[in-house]
Structure 1
Amino acid sequence: CKGHDFCGEGHICGDHSQCQNLLTRAACVCRPGFAPIREDEAYCQDVDECAAGAHYCHEFTTCTNTAGSFHCDCLPGFLRVDDYSCTEHNECISGTHNCDSNAICTNTVGSHRCTCGPGYIGNGTTCQPFCDGGCKNGGSCVSPNVCLCQSGFKGELCETDVNECAVGIAQCHPNTHCVNLPGWFHCECRAGYHDNGSFALNGDSCTDIDECATGRHSCQNQTVCVNLEGSYDCRCPSGQHCSGECLHDGQTKRNGHVWTLLGDRCSVCTCVNGQVFCRRTMCECDNPNVDLFCCPECDNRITSHCQSHNGQVTYRSGDTWIHDCQSCRCLQGEVDCWPVPCPKLHCRHTVLLEGNCCARCVGSPCETDGDSAAAVVPDLTKSCRDERGAQQLGGSSWRPDGGPCILCHCQDGNICCSADPLCPFNN
């Protein structure tokens, strides 16, 4: 039969304790996870199973005590199996790591390690290709030991200037001759021609100089100056006898006379029918009496060789090369360098590209490099109207509506916009 309910008669138990009917009376019993404060168990307190070691948490977990119980939390880098156990999480296999695409992911206990792969440098989360020796002349390292060269350069490290004149890239007008420069070229008017003021890039603006009209000739002794395309001729009038002598540096030279140019022992001049022609001394290296001062390329002695600035290249006497925007030449064991001559530009907008030694003309102010010393100073008097119709002063900058990473500026009345590299939304 059903026993008597002693608890129903108002037997009171404290917190975390519950009443339990016995055969002859009621008694207080602590709830699971609690221990009695005194013998009658009317009052109970929480048992810290974690501290007492009375929990069931397995390896790779942390025991956390709760009121009347406990729970097991997985350590960082581990995944839950059940309420009491966790297993290691392999981020490398699951793809939940933060390693760069060019890094090697190595799983560790509770975590992982990122190491940049061969040919790359960085902290593992970001890896950049590494080119041994570095890319020269503005080139970019795009993969291990592979440089992407800027226009006008070539070589494994972009260390070699492309001679556009020699390879036929340059399309210069016949009235000009091509002058190779580091990274590009220049079409320069030939002797007897000058630019008409339009300064065409291909030299189409080079026109003939009338030496006779301008007095830039050497005709004398009754000879008559006759202008020719790119030159002139000294002719005797009909019925007269002309000596064909030449006037040079204030001295009269007879027709056919050959002499060494004053102050330059490596140049010889000839008077031919009233005209003076000068040229460099012809170098015949087979001649045992060749002047090595004028013909350093004929000097094959090892002591006359030169080393490049980094010591990696050996040049023979007479060789020339470009280094840091300087033309260098090996002269009998000594290196002489001088600044690369840059053509005079007659245009408003110029730009000095990275890796180039000389500025070049561009058609738009937006193509100029604002940080370049060759860039033209903006005209502050020329304003612009932005996309909202507001007037922007010359030289001012702003961000257009809806373009937090676009930066526009007013330059010579033109609106020039580009992506802002410092914008956090670009990262």
Structure 2
Amino acid sequence: MGVGFSPRLTLLCLGFVSGVRTLNPDDPNVCSHWESYAVTVQESYAHPFDQVYYTRCTDILNWFKCTKHRISYKTAYRRGVRTMYRRRSQCCPGFYETGELCVPLCTEECVHGRCVSPDTCQCEPGWGGLDCSSGCESDFWGPHCTNRCQCRNGAKCNPITGACVCTDGFQGWRCEEHCHHNLYGKDCMQECQCLNGATCHHQSGECLCAPGYTGSFQHLSPPVLLQMKMFLFVSCSCEEPCPPGQHGSMCEQRCSCQNGGTCHHVTGECHCPPGWMVWPRTPPPRCRPSETFSLHQTEEIRATRNSMEHL
């Protein structure tokens, strides 16, 4: 009896296409999935064939040998295709592969910024908008222009740092202060030229004369007038006293001395010519003849004596 073979398969891989993982699996932007692929293999199997063998028999002519047949099996090989599975790494949706990293993809280019997540730009300070192409409005600064400026008195703030750029005549972190005394203009770097106790405008440097001094008057622009609540400034340095016959603030008051008397340009006090004296009994003061003053003085002395005698 021949030995029988049971059918069996033996797989021998002739080729294996493996996926080379270049992406870092620890990258949170890397996703993985299972995929199928085909490989060519050489497989073994039990191939049947007709096996001839001899047995003893009563056939005298063949020397008591008889021929018989039986089905036997032998190992054979053939080519086949096998479906295999493997884990494939790829960039998650919204990301694309560059080297071993998956970086976010923005449909619109981030003009002044960088793409930090799918279709999301992180703008540089001073820029805003979906694609970081719009400069900050005047009252905002910083990344995406989300910070509100704290500047005052018409100052503008730097769209990148938020630092205030003061207008002429102002200083301080928020431009909340006027220039210090005797300084004016841009960055409060210019020195006032005003004399005789005059003060100068912190923005223009124009002088506001002290009482009794003057110069050539001029009107300022309405915004300055509204802010300062003043109407007239002197454009010169206030080195001239009031013209004769005038005194006081802006030299607007007229002297009352009369009769050749002159008044002090600051206080308005009368200075009378010889033979005249200031008569202050009834305001305003005036210059009157000295004898008139003596007569009135004598009458007052007499009245005082009479009143004392009656006591």
Same structural fold, with TM-score higher than 0.5 when normalized by the shorter chain: no
By relative contact order (CA 8 Å, sep 6+), the higher-ranking structure is 2
TM-score, with structure 1 as normaliser? 0.28
TM-score, with structure 2 as normaliser? 0.36
The structure with more radius of gyration: 2
